[in-house]
A and B are shown apart, each in its own frame.
Chain A
Amino acid sequence: MIFLLLFLVGAAVLALVLLSRSHRVMNVLSLAHATAYVGIVAYALARLPLPLHADGSDYLFLDHLGAYEILVASVVFFLAALYLEGYIESLIRAEELPKRNLRLFYVAMNLLLIATAFSFASDNLAVFWIFLELTTLFSAVLVVTLNAKENIDVALKYIFIASTSMLFSFIGIILLFFLSAQATGTGTLEWSALMLHAATFSPALLLVSFLFILIGFAAKSGIAPFHTWLPHTHAKAPSAVSVVLSGAVVNMGIYGILRVFAIVHQTSALTAASWFLIGFGIFSVAVASLSMLRQRNTKRIIAFSSIEHMGVILVGIGIATRTSVFWSLAYVLAHSLAKSLLFFSAGIINRQYESNEAEDVRDIFRLQPLASLGLIVGSLTIVGMPPFLLFLPKLFIIIELGKVSLLLFFLLMLFLLIAVVAFGAFMMRLFSAVPEAGKQERIPRFPVPAKMSLTLAILITLVLALGLWFPSYVQHVIDAIVTELRF
């Protein structure tokens, strides 16, 4: 019933968007779409016995992890839809987005939400893979709707890197199917069945399968060295799309890695797989933090920070303790909200100066006080300062790594410190630029529409309030996930 409802809501919204001629109607429909998904999944989490299997289909199910991920993604899509109308209107006025692409944009946005939700509701690894591929296509369409030819190159790079990496994942998936066939006589790719029979799988072949799968899913999450598409795509996409890409779509790769790692966790291949995850995680933090030092573009530095944070989450999963996995999942929520705040604020800065380059920004506090506050609160959150939302997840993952290896603990701390310095220095440069003498009046203020301001206000409140008081409801959900995954 839940799955049918998700599908019907999505299909109805798509049909109405196709029939609509008004931007406002398309925007309200997208807002209603995300709101409905938040409501449906929140209801399932609160009232229904999970895991829940779809009637008459082996391909769909909803457990705590899937529901939690859909909830996070739907909240991000809701905020993006709230922000979108004023932002898109501004892009159209500036002729950066042709009006003829409006319907295509909203169709791709809503298809992306459907594919994201159904990927998290897939009970079959191959079906999950297909939805993951579809999200690449819909994201690429969103990137090329802008009036910029370089966006085609960026979207092609994204498609080729993500899709070729995903082909390696598919080899791993076939190997996993082969392993399950060896163990049970009939092969399966259902998460629950794979978890059940994992202990009987050949550890060596399971490790090879895991590594192949890791390549594609890591590319989807922007884990180094498969990250090269991410800074370009997130920086060139419209800001509301950057929010969806880094607040929802990158989570899908991490989700897939966590699911498959939970299967490996049942076998003696665990130690080797753990080291791979921790290694890739720290390498991602290193690559991102060192790259951040050179950045002069607001959206690019925020994009590189996504690579850093995906690395920290991967380290948390790789440590494979109950505590580290718990905080990795809390990290996913914290990162999605903090990154949304940063990209939304960067979007307003972009509309103000029609540029993302730091050198073009002048007198930002006077012209855009709310976006400035958003950038400051977002930056403090993203570097892990107390009392903001990301502080505790980051702290506990670092502490847990210290229990595994002091050397790796210091290495991670060093790269995180470099990232803090890079982010801090960039923001100082951005905020300290003042207009040349006598030119103060020449910069007209971009009038921020009320819904864009409201989006920022909601996010600033959320990252502070959730940092001070992490709801016990969310804690219970994450606890249930960790138990279901058998950590």
Chain B
Amino acid sequence: MIDPVFALDLIKILLVLIVLSAALIITRRDFIALTSLYAAQSFLIVLLSVGLFAIDRNPLLLIIAAITLLSKVVIIPFILTKVQRRLKMKREIEFSHLSPIGAILLAVVAFFFIYALFSGILSGLDKGVLSTVVSLAICLVFMGLIIIFTRKQTITNVIGYLTMENGVLLFSLFVAELSLLIEVLILLDLIMLIVLVALMAFGIDSSIEEFHSQLNVLDRWLGREQR
């Protein structure tokens, strides 16, 4: 078993790496690299859940680690890679509103602002390190939002949304673990959203007929597509 003190140090390193992965996502243009970075970020969250389990001994953390591994390290990157192969455009051509350096500077400012806000509110509560962790998690959410605002391509916006969602997961891991059923439902909802948005990204890149053909997945399953 992992020693709790070692686990705490590991968690701190993992938190830094997770924020670093978001910073790398902000700077990269290549779709495949962005998806790999997202998968790596999700894997870091899996390791973090295992680290937290070593301290808390809450089996729910291990289950969350397992479903995160399956959905965010395997299934969602697989869907995104499949869509990216079919898209004509392979990389982000230009950034809107902010350059990557400006976006990272904004993320740093956001972190200090969030830290100041939450350290004040959480100071009365018993968890001393909570405000730093909460600030990092919400900072990750804001970094995802910055990615959405500074990119024009749908597929990069999806990566931004997924980074935000990882920030929320990180936040919930430290603040409060919801029930397993709710965690699973949220992931199913996330996968449905990604599939739909991925289809639409394909739709923008192709003709409306091809898009509607893809969209009518039910009819294809039932083997009776109407014309």
Contacts and interface: CB of A to CB of B under 8 A. Distances in A.
* A pairs with B: yes
B226 A204 contact: no
Given A127-B185, A130-B186, A175-B175, A170 B168 contact: yes
A102 B200 contact: no
A141 B203 CA distance: 12
Given A164-B145, A171-B141, A101 B212 contact: yes
B92 interface: no
Interface in B197-225: 197, 200-201, 203-204, 208-209, 211-213, 215-216, 218-219, 222, 225
Interface in B82-138: 117, 121-122, 124-125, 138
A439 interface: no
B165 A127 contact: no
A103 B193 contact: no
Contact of A100 (B117, B161, B219): B219
Interface residues of B, number: 48
Interface stretch (A3-11, A148-156, A359-367): A148-156
Which secondary structure dominates where chain B touches chain A?
helix
A174 B189 contact: no
Contacts of B181: 59
A149 B161 contact: no
Interface in B146-201: 148, 154, 157, 161, 164-165, 167-168, 171-172, 175-176, 178, 181-182, 185-186, 189, 192-193, 196-197, 200-201
Contacts of A167: 141, 161, 164-165, 167-168
A181 interface: yes
Nearest to A98: B212
Contacts of A204: 121
A24 to B, nearest CB: 15
Interface string A53-75: 00000010000000000000000
A457 interface: no
Interface stretch (A35-43, A132-140, A286-294, A378-386): A132-140
Interface of B: 117, 121-122, 124-125, 138, 141, 144-145, 148, 154, 157, 161, 164-165, 167-168, 171-172, 175-176, 178, 181-182, 185-186, 189, 192-193, 196-197, 200-201, 203-204, 208-209, 211-213, 215-216, 218-219, 222, 225-227
Interface of A: 18, 59, 98-104, 107, 124, 126-127, 130, 133-134, 137, 140-141, 144-145, 147-149, 152-153, 155-156, 159-160, 163-164, 167-168, 170-171, 174-175, 177-178, 181-182, 187, 189, 202, 204-205, 208
